[in-house]
Each structure stands twice: as structure tokens, then as C-alpha cells.
Amino acid sequence: SLNIAKTPFAKIYFTHFDDLDTGIKTFKRRYDRIEWNNILYKIDLEKPYYSNEDIIRWNELKLPNSVAFYSYKVLENWDKPIHNGIFIDKWVIDGAKMFDISRNYFNIFKWIKSGRIETSLSYQILNQIIFDPTIPRSLKKGFLKKLSLVKNLLFYFAFECLFQDLIYL
């Protein structure tokens, strides 16, 4: 069974604790370390305890630096936009696996750094090459070595262009 604490504002699910007291003590200790100006919000709307009312509340909050994952199950009962929603067709309940899966749908590293949801073709390609466990390690190392060489050449070219501009000033 889940250990759930109720506040006037929200329910807190202590899913990784055997008892509620340990969960609350750990929460209070971590609460004191929160950087309130640098909070990211993520919700997995596919989890079984979320309802349409939760989606309505999520949309009303319009939290900055937030992301909401959803998939086909949500779409069975919901046909409106979801605030900062990201449709993930291969959604699974396992949070660690979802971290890996979600990287295929948006630039999670840029989101963590800036709070913005973005993606690009180059990000998706690099993400596949670097993190896909089915790609042989030797291929990854060779690609990264070539990428480093290209980066150095581009830096050298940009430096030369900048240097030329300075000479003509």
C-alpha cells in the first residue's frame, strides 16, 4: 500500500518508503535544502491515480519550468491541450525507464538547465548515438572522437573569422 500524507494543498505519495514516519522525516530534511527559485515540475499523468480533475488543476496552475507526460490512456478521456504536455507513445510506469524514454521526446538536459521545453533533430540524433544501449560502444567512441575533431575545426574557423574581422577594424 502507498504511504500518503495529506496537506491542505496536495497529497504527497511516499512511494519509496516502508512507513509514513520515515517518509515525512526525510521530506522535512530535504525540504530545508530546496532552492525555491530553481524548481522544476514534472508530472506523469498516465499514472493510475491521476484523473481528469487533476489535469484541469495542472492546466490552471500553469507552472513555469514544468512538463507533463501523457500517452494514449489519457487521450481516451481527454481531448484538450495539456499545459507543457509531452505525448509519449511508449510510456511506462517505471520512473527510471521513463527518464531514458523521455529523452527521445524533448531535450531533458536543456529543460533541467533552463526550464524550457525544446527539441531539435540534431539533439535527437546525438541522443540516440550517445545513449542508445543497442549502439556498440566502439561506434560511440569513434563518433565522439570525430565530433570532437569537428568541434575543434569549427572553433578554429570561428576564431580565424573573428581574428580577420578584428584586423579589418
pLDDT in tens, 60-98: 999 999 999 999 999 999 999 999 999 888 888 888 888
Please determine, for residue 169, whether its predicted confidence score (pLDDT) is greater than 50: no
How would residue 165 be classed by pLDDT, with cut points 50, 70 and 90?
Answer: very low
Query: What are the tens digits of pLDDT across the range 11-34?
Result: 888 888 888 999 999 989 999 999
pTM score, whole prediction: 0.59
**Which of 6-15, 64-73, 134-143, 148-157 shows the lowest mean pLDDT across its residues?**
148-157
The chain-wide mean pLDDT, for the chain, equals: 81
More confident call, 20 vs 122 = 20
Please determine, for residue 159, whether its predicted confidence score (pLDDT) is greater than 70: no
pLDDT for the residue numbered 82 = 95
Question: Which three three-digit cell numbers place residue 169?
Answer: 577594424
Region 120-144: mean pLDDT is: 68
Helix (H) or strand (E) holding 128: helix 121-131
- Please identify which residue in the block is written with the cell numbers 495539456: 82
**Which of 33-47, 76-90, 105-119, 142-156 shows the lowest mean pLDDT across its residues?**
142-156
pLDDT for the residue numbered 167 = 47
Please determine, for residue 166, whether its predicted confidence score (pLDDT) is greater than 50: no
pLDDT for the residue numbered 168 = 43
Are 25 and 3 in contact by the 8 Å Cβ rule? The answer is: no
For residue 101, count other CB atoms closer than 10 A to its CB: 16
Sort residue 21 into left (φ over 0), alpha (ψ -120 to 50) or beta.
alpha
